[in-house]
Amino acid sequence: MTLKLRIVPDPVLRKLADPVKTVDREVSRFMHEMLETMYASAGVGLAAPQVGELKRVIVVDVEEEQNAAKAFMMADPVITWSSEELFTYREGCLSIPGQYAEVTRPKRIKVAYTDVNNQRIEMEAEDLLSTCIQHEVDHLNGVLFVDHVSKLKRDMMLKRVEKAQRLAAEEQQDGKAL
């Protein structure tokens, strides 16, 4: 089952997500639904607020050949260390469709999280995986990738998304008129 993606300016995207504490059967099912939604949307990462849930849960799969068995499903992820060396990547976001910007973040991180089996794990990530985890953890704190670019660029991107949504809604209304 795929979940409904939230698109800016949905207020849930700016809220702080709540800790999960335990990955039980319900949270595990939710993680799998998030993964299915991410794959269906051609994404490489997804955070629970992006599907309207204020839970500290993210899923990530940056591999060329995405595979749910190798994806990272993380509850309560905490970045415990980040390198001084930086990495710049052209980021996009399923909640800000069609918009991309160069964002610079730490090249390497260590992240501690609870996995889908309720085991606490710590791992290192670098380059794209590091960027993706940082991007998704930002979502859990109400931060969007556009917050890492200039105000002018951010405002332009958000206005483009809002205009596209408005036009799509108008087209949908026009299609219903008889």
Q: Does domain 11-176 have CATH number 3.40.50.720?
A: no
Please state the rounded mean pLDDT for residues 92-98: 97
Which residues are marked as active site?
136
Cis-peptide into 49, omega within 30 deg: no
Token digits of residue 40 = 């269906």
Predicted pLDDT of residue 177: 47
Of 178 and 88, more confident: 88
Q: Quick one: pLDDT band at residue 111, thresholds 50, 70, 90?
A: very high
Whole-prediction pTM: 0.94
Q: Quick one: pLDDT band at residue 176, thresholds 50, 70, 90?
A: low
Please state the rounded mean pLDDT for residues 10-38: 97
Q: Return all residues near 119 (Cβ < 8 A) that are at least 6 apart.
A: none
pLDDT > 60? residue 151: yes
**Which of 15, 88, 1 minimizes the C-alpha distance to 52?**
15
